[in-house]
Amino acid sequence: MMKMRHGKTKRILARKVKSKKPKPKMAKFKKLHFVETKWKKFHRRSTFMRLRSPVTSLARTPSEGFDEKTLKTPRTKEVIFILDFGSQYTQLIARRVRENKVFSKIVPYNITPAEITQMAPKGLILSGGPMSVYDKNAPLPDRAIFKMGIPILGICYGMQAITHMFEGKVDRSREREFGSAELFVDSNRDLFANLPTNLTCWMSHGDSIKKLPTGFVSIAHTLNAPIAAIANRAKKIYGVQFHPEVAHTQRGNQIISNFLLAICGCLPRWTMDKFIHSASRQIRDVVGRKKIVLGLSGGVDSAVTAMLINQSIGKQLHCIFVDNGLLRKNEVASVERTFKGTFKINLTIVDARKRFLQRLKDIEDPEEKRKIIGDEFIKVFQDTAKKLKNVEFLAQGTLYPDVIESVSPNGGPSAVIKTHHNVGGLPKNMKFKLIEPLRDLFKDEVRVIGKHLGLPETVLKRQPFPGPGLAIRVIGEVTEERLDILREADEIVLDEIKKANLYHEIWQSFAVLLPIKTVGVMGDQRTYENVIAIRCVSSVDGMTADWVKIPYELLGKIANRIINEVQGVNRVVYDVSSKPPSTIEWE
């Protein structure tokens, strides 16, 4: 019986198999083609809508600042928008947000509600700024953003703007607050959850809130500011008069974390491994089968840029190392040995020393130096790239601090401090499209990416070196003789810092050649020679920095070596300025 059933089942199955007519191969192909076509259309559409971060302004022209394309973002990405009212700390706010593994993006203060709706950020942070809300043409956001139901945090000027637009009163303070102040927390909820009742905070304001708007309560105060933090919990709108983003504010990152995670409901998912995956995909989408040329300097920024692009498109990347005569001692040989020898990256070395020095002749203005160097850099690239076919893109290792110190668009009134060579010095008729995959990242984020990509610590932990090179460390006119003096002095500074095991503890250590001469006595003879300044600073991301209190014995050793070994120098001084108010570089 079992056999009969088994045999019957076999016969029935056989009949079913025979009854099935195979589908024509063409029909199967058409169905597959239809699916692939739909996917490609969706992929193109999603690529277009994707936020230009983590590869912000992936392909752009040098004249672009804030525009609609740089604001595209997929709805699935959690992002916090920072509305830029001109604070020098705006991108520091962005950095602190990312430290909580939440992606942040700086947008113009006057971004429209329609753009915000399209990009669906989880929260808005209104930055500080140099103006007062009652000034003529003071920057204010669109009133409609307060009706969108999106959590908002105003910082310094941002809090004053909220107060002003909700018909509170902002006026001059009797006593301005610049520096540390003791903050008394009046409400340990939401924004100030899990914090002590007394904190040291960093103030920087000349105005204060005199009258709270309707619906708001004061949640913190200082001795000079009765209203130092405000909240409208029904609307999820908060404000702080101090700067939680700076290191001087105790538990400042906890305050930002409370806003992001507890109030906005963000999930901490922004990581550098995800950045690498997303950036590589976008590079492939934008570049296609074209070629990219990259200026490889040997520094962290260009090295990580090269490795990231090389991982994305391989041999389509062609690196060009330009010897502009403004490099440190033995730099050319070191770059060739590391990248051409070790990493087997396509590398062409161009000797353009005479070209750069000729154009810098008689130029003393630092902004002019930067623009000349950027302009000549592109011209050298154009001349070299003529030998390569199908080259359409130029890659640069521009970082966030470079942008914040050089961009002052109408939509974001940040004061221009200096023009970065990668940002402000490019000619309008540049023949390449610009690729800047690291444009939205800070130095420490870039180093994490480099480690993921396999770069050795000798490259990753190298101190930052400015793109314009020694030209902005030779104060005044740049000549071959003055460069040689600085190059030798700089080598001694680095050598002694490394011997003292301080190289990796210091953000930057270098020498500066001043445009003055002083009287000295060497042997029994009077001298009238140059002055070298030593600059050593500590920093986390280059946005703020403090001078390093290195041992007097080490300072003396460096000074003695420079005076004895570098011909043309008879005096050495040490720079004890912090950023702000000074910048790290002298020019």
Positions marked catalytic: 156, 243, 245
**Beta carbons of 150 and 157 less than 8 angstroms apart:** no
**Beta carbons of 97 and 260 less than 8 angstroms apart:** yes
- How far apart, in whole angstroms, are the C-alpha atoms of residue 105 and residue 93? 10
| 8-state DSSP, 86 | S
- How far apart, in whole angstroms, are the C-alpha atoms of residue 64 and residue 175? 41
State the pairing for strand pair 525-538/569-574. Answer: parallel
The DSSP string of 329-392 is TTHHHHHIIIIIIIS---EEEEE-HHHHHHHTTT---HHHHHHHHHHHHHHHHHHHHTTSSSEE
Closest Cα partner for 129 from 360, 372, 426, 411?
411
**Beta carbons of 463 and 81 less than 8 angstroms apart:** no
Two structure tokens written together for 313? 């498109």
**Local structure of 131: helix, strand or coil:** coil
The DSSP string of 453-509 is TT--HHHHTPPP--TTGGGGTB-S---HHHHHHHHHHHHHHHHHHHHTT-GGG-SEE
Non-local (6+) Cβ contacts of 495 within 8 A are none
SS (H, E, C) 411-458: CCCCCCCCCCCCCCCCCCCCCCEEECCCCCCCHHHHHHHHHHCCCCHH
| Sign, Cα dihedral of 295, 299, 300, 301 | negative
What is the maximal distance between C-alpha atoms in the chain? 124
Closest Cα partner for 240 from 197, 185, 196, 193?
185
Q: Tabulate helix, strand, coil % of the chain (nearest 5).
A: 40, 20, 40
- How far apart, in whole angstroms, are the C-alpha atoms of residue 162 and residue 143? 9
Cα–Cα distances (Å) from 434 to 63, 113, 386, 395, 437, in that order, read 11, 30, 17, 6, 10
- How far apart, in whole angstroms, are the C-alpha atoms of residue 292 and residue 440? 20
The DSSP string of 69-82 is GGG---TTS-EEEE
**202 has which bridge partners?**
180
**Local structure of 109: helix, strand or coil:** coil
Two structure tokens written together for 78? 């959690």
**Beta carbons of 496 and 558 less than 8 angstroms apart:** yes
